């Protein structure tokens, strides 16, 4: 969908949207409408009890066409504009070709106008690749949004916002694809397009990882005919010390020999949501030419239960040299992450690592689908990520770490087990990963199991993939690594 900014309403057929802050709607507030039309729309809005609540819409017809009033609430945040844009896109996605949004009456800044456009583009995203029987009335029709009367700087603000929207869309695409289409090798190929933006890509195959001693990651993959891959994406937008983002990329998770129940197993195509978020974030950073040095690492495997699959009770040796007793083959994500984290520390000498993973069902039990869980060995890094999450909308909640939890994963025959007892499962999973973080390295773990997929539509996503994780990483970089 195209977005452009203009000084006046374009010629030709279009729907007109007028954003309004909360309060009584009177004709004087309806920029872009003639006196009679404004009076009619004001009366109709009052009759429909529209009061400008954030994201609320009054859908009317006046004069020559369709008029939509969209609420901004108090209008005092980018989020309000973003929500308004998303609400508009959801309303006209399959009915209009051109939507004109007149913000002159509220004197929106360029940044706020760009936020509205961002929300609209995000919410308008759909993936209809495999839907061959859609009726004409069900197909997306919205091609362009024209924002009229935006303040100075709208185009520059939109350039940055568009890069972020492109990154989120890429993550949604990766998360949405079925596992017969997206697997370790094809995930890598999808990410090749980042090279055109200046991202340096390196790929390690299963033989190279075996030579490096990545027995934990490869143990997960050994039951699948799809070979594992370690995908490395490097964006050097500044001559600075690198920061690493590491993503769990289990492109399908049956649970292995510790097989999951059949009901709902189809959802496990999105168990690569952490790797998807890293890939989307790297696209966003490169797209807006972020002045930062970031290395994105995705451990890509498929967890299947064939005759060669890893068994409960097996002991594997990680790249770090630490040994792991595999109690449950469905606790596989941490086995992937530990070798990826060891590799990026030893290869690039990074001193700050943020990993993202759809790691534990226990996190969904704890937080539902409202927050991701955050664990960290450094308070300053944790605070940066919490603030980035709040500002971006990818909200996180911090959980504890400690020796008492760490003891729960000690093994009688190896250095550690890959699971602890039933309770505190998200914490013991984080403690497992922490054992692979070297001295002096700041590390945070984001357990986003409840956030990458939604059973209902939200402000900036439809039912399905949410793109969660991209925005927090982009905001973390913008607020703390650039400048």
Q: How far apart (Å, rounded) are the C-alpha atoms in residues 366 and 429?
A: 14
Phi-psi region of 350 (alpha: psi -120 to 50; beta: other; left: phi over 0): beta
Catalytic residue among 91, 334, 395, 442: 334
**Cβ–Cβ under 8 Å, residues 385 and 394:** no
- DSSP designation for 131: -
CATH architecture group of domain 162-480 = 3-Layer(aba) Sandwich (3.40)
Q: How far apart (Å, rounded) are the C-alpha atoms in residues 255 and 374?
A: 24
In this structure, what are the phi and psi dihedrals at residue 440, rounded to the nearest 5 degrees?
85, 0
Domain 2-151: which topology?
3.40.220
C-alpha to C-alpha distances, 5 to 108, 397, 426, nearest whole angstrom: 12, 37, 46
Q: What is the pLDDT of residue 239?
A: 97
* Structure-token pair, residue 101: 């949004």
Catalytic residue among 9, 43, 126, 260: 260
Active site residue 334: yes
CA angle 224, 230, 234 (to 5 degrees): 155
C-alpha to C-alpha distances, 107 to 150, 325, 343, nearest whole angstrom: 7, 62, 51
C-alpha to C-alpha distances, 41 to 27, 29, 44, 129, nearest whole angstrom: 8, 11, 5, 39
Active site residue 190: no
In CATH terms, are 2-151 and 162-480 the same topology? no
Q: How far apart (Å, rounded) are the C-alpha atoms in residues 347 and 210?
A: 16
All residue ranges of the chain with pLDDT < 70 are none
- Residue bearing tokens 């695409």: 173
Q: What is the pLDDT of residue 450?
A: 98
Q: How far apart (Å, rounded) are the C-alpha atoms in residues 57 and 69?
A: 5
Write down the pTM of the prediction. 0.97
**Cβ–Cβ under 8 Å, residues 318 and 415:** no
In sequence order, the 6+-apart residues with CB closer than 8 A to the CB of 384 are 476, 479, 480
* Structure-token pair, residue 423: 């309770």
Per-domain boundaries in the chain: 2-151, 162-480
């Amino acid at each position: 969908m195209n977005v452009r900014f203009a000084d006046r309403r374009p010629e030709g057929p279009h729907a007109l949207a007028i954003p309004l802050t909360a309060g009584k709607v009177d004709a004087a507030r309806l920029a872009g409408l003639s006196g009679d039309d404004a009076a009619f729309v004001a009366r109709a809005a009052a009759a429909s009890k529209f009061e400008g609540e954030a994201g609320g819409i009054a859908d009317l017809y006046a004069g020559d066409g369709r008029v939509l009033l969209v609420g901004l609430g108090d209008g005092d945040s980018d989020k309000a504009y973003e929500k308004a844009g998303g609400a508009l896109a959801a309303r006209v996605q399959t009915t209009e070709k051109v939507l004109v949004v007149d913000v002159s009456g509220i004197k929106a800044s360029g940044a706020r106008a760009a936020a509205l456009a961002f929300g609209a583009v995000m919410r308008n995203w759909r993936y209809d690749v495999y839907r061959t029987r859609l009726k004409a009335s069900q197909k997306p029709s919205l091609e362009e949004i024209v924002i009229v009367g935006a303040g100075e700087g709208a185009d520059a603000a939109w350039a940055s916002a568009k890069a972020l929207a492109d990154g989120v869309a890429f993550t949604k695409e990766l998360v949405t694809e079925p596992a017969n289409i997206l697997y370790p090798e094809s995930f890598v190929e999808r990410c090749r397009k980042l090279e055109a933006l200046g991202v340096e890509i390196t790929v390690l195959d299963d033989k190279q990882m075996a030579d490096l001693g990545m027995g934990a990651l490869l143990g997960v993959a050994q039951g699948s005919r799809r070979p594992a891959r370690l995908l490395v994406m490097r964006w050097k937008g500044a001559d600075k010390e690198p920061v690493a983002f590491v993503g769990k990329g289990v492109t399908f998770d049956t649970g292995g020999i510790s097989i999951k129940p059949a009901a709902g197993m189809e959802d496990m195509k999105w168990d690569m949501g952490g790797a998807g978020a890293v890939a989307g974030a790297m696209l966003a950073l490169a797209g807006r030419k972020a002045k930062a040095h970031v290395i994105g690492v995705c451990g890509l495997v498929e967890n299947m239960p064939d005759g060669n699959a890893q068994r409960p009770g097996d002991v594997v040796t990680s790249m770090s040299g630490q040994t792991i007793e595999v109690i449950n083959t469905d606790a596989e994500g941490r086995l992937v992450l530990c070798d990826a984290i060891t590799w990026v520390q030893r290869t690039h000498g990074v001193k700050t690592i943020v990993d993202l993973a759809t790691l534990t069902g226990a996190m969904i039990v704890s937080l539902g689908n409202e927050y991701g869980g955050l664990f960290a060995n450094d308070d300053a890094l944790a605070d940066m990520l919490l603030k980035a999450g709040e500002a971006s909308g990818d909200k996180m909640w911090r959980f504890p770490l400690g020796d008492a939890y760490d003891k729960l994963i000690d093994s009688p025959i190896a250095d550690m087990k890959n699971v602890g007892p039933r309770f505190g499962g998200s914490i013991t999973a984080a403690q497992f990963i922490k054992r692979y973080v070297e001295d002096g390295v700041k590390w945070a773990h984001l357990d986003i199991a409840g956030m990458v997929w939604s059973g209902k539509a939200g402000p900036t996503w439809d039912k399905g993939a949410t793109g969660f994780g991209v925005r927090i990483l982009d905001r973390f970089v913008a607020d703390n690594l650039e400048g």
